[in-house]
Amino acid sequence: MKEEHDVPLASRTTLGLGGPARRLVRCETEAEIVSAVAGADEAGVPLFVLGGGSNVVVADEGFPGLVVEIASAGVEPRASGDRVEVEVAAGEDWDGFVARAVAEGWSGIECLAGIPGRVGATPIQNVGAYGQDVAQTLAYVRVFDRRRGAVVTLDARTCGFSYRNSRFKGDRICPVVLSVGFVLDARGRSRPLAYEELCRTLGASAGDDRPLDEVRRTVIALRRRKGMVLDRTDPDSVSAGSFFTNPILDIETFRAFEARARALVGSDAPVPRYLEDDRVKVPAAWLVERAGFLRGHTRGAFRVSTKHALALVHSGGGTTRELLAFEAEIRAAVGAVFGVTLEREPVLVGESYG
């Protein structure tokens, strides 16, 4: 476990932004992760755990403490009837794991193909796409509990999963994920499809299934068309993915929003929404564009992606302060037009953010 000093972090993030880490260690084993994290906590050193860098925005000043880069590896499957239990090290590439699951005929995460980052990050924000999220297949998370100074196993029920959220997100002394256990179906076909766009592209109906490799290829193609697959040849992929989560409104708030929306787009125009039990989910991309920030809208070194209004793209030479000013402009416009507050999806990293 080699420690480096003043290590640039911009090159370790998909946005290509941010200053250096004062100290950085790359940990390739669970023991190294525990040792590095425990040592930092004992010394009172600020700590940030870095995975694939796909969902973070690093301050221009960088990070003043220790960055622990997770690079552990290992996938351990155990067959159990018509299911397979798989424990995956936190440092494994997420899409690489999805690709292996599809190749092995394990279903339950095929719609999460093409998402950048490491396996250990997926429980933090309950990663999801195209009708699936990790909470649907996650059985447990093995973590280093920093408060207790011990390795513990947390079952899915204790993780507090909700839409793009968990008990871990926002915890200032967040447990560090060491490995994640999944329970997948060993049936060789997808779980029943639910997401309208995916069903339409596959020529399927909700509830149908399809061969796993067909679903994975289709999901990646859809994500690529939106600039949501890391690709050196695609300038729109220089982003943190979706910068805003889709607002979920209670019925009363939704009705007030809908009245504003119809006044803007016309009484006969559709206002997209998705039912979430007794609440309503509204597409953030629709809000952003109707608030005046169309695809390609540019502010200095940043722009709204030409492929998807939820991604804020870095064209090069910009600063984190400029990005956050652009974000604030979009949030203010959406709030003024629709009375809805957009929530940021990426995590802010650095002393500036507390």
Could you list the pLDDT tens digit for every one of the 354 residues in the chain? 889 999 999 999 999 999 999 999 999 999 999 999 999 999 999 999 999 999 999 999 999 999 999 999 999 999 988 999 999 999 999 999 999 999 999 999 999 999 999 999 999 999 999 999 999 999 999 999 999 999 999 999 999 999 889 999 888 899 999 999 999 999 899 999 999 999 999 999 999 999 999 999 999 999 999 999 999 899 999 999 999 999 999 999 999 999 999 998 887 888 898 887 789 999 999 999 999 999 999 999 999 999 999 999 999 999 999 999 999 999 999 999 999 999 999 999 997 665
Q: Residue 81: what pLDDT?
A: 87
Catalytic-labelled residue, pool 100, 224, 345, 352: 345
Question: Could you tell me how far CA 174 lies from the centroid of its own chain?
Answer: 17
* Cα gap 147→168, rounded to integer Å: 13
Catalytic-labelled residue, pool 164, 223, 290, 303: 164
Architecture in CATH for domain 75-225: 2-Layer Sandwich (3.30)
Q: How far is CA 342 from CA 62, 100, 141, 242, in A?
A: 26, 35, 29, 12
In 3D space, the residue among 71, 178, 70, 173 whose CA is nearest the CA of residue 123 turns out to be: 178
Q: How far is CA 142 from CA 94, 102, 112, 287, in A?
A: 17, 24, 21, 38
Architecture in CATH for domain 3-70: 2-Layer Sandwich (3.30)
Domain locations in the chain?
3-70, 75-225, 235-353
Catalytic: 345? yes
CATH of domain 235-353: 3.90.78.10
Do the beta carbons of residue 143 and residue 159 sit within 8 Å?
no
Q: Residue 353: what pLDDT?
A: 67
Q: Residue 99: what pLDDT?
A: 98
Catalytic: 164? yes
* Cα gap 261→245, rounded to integer Å: 19
* Cα gap 353→59, rounded to integer Å: 8
Phi, psi of 245 (to 5 degrees): -85, 155
Catalytic-labelled residue, pool 242, 290, 305, 331: 242
Catalytic: 142? no
DSSP-assigned states of every residue in 68-126: EEE----EEEEEETTEEEEEEETTSBHHHHHHHHHHHT-BSSGGGTT--SBGGGTTTTT
Q: Residue 354: what pLDDT?
A: 53
Q: Residue 278: what pLDDT?
A: 87
Q: How far is CA 227 from CA 13, 90, 217, in A?
A: 16, 25, 15
Order the strands of the 302-304 sheet from edge to edge. Answer: 298-299, 302-304, 312-314
Do the beta carbons of residue 81 and residue 96 sit within 8 Å?
no
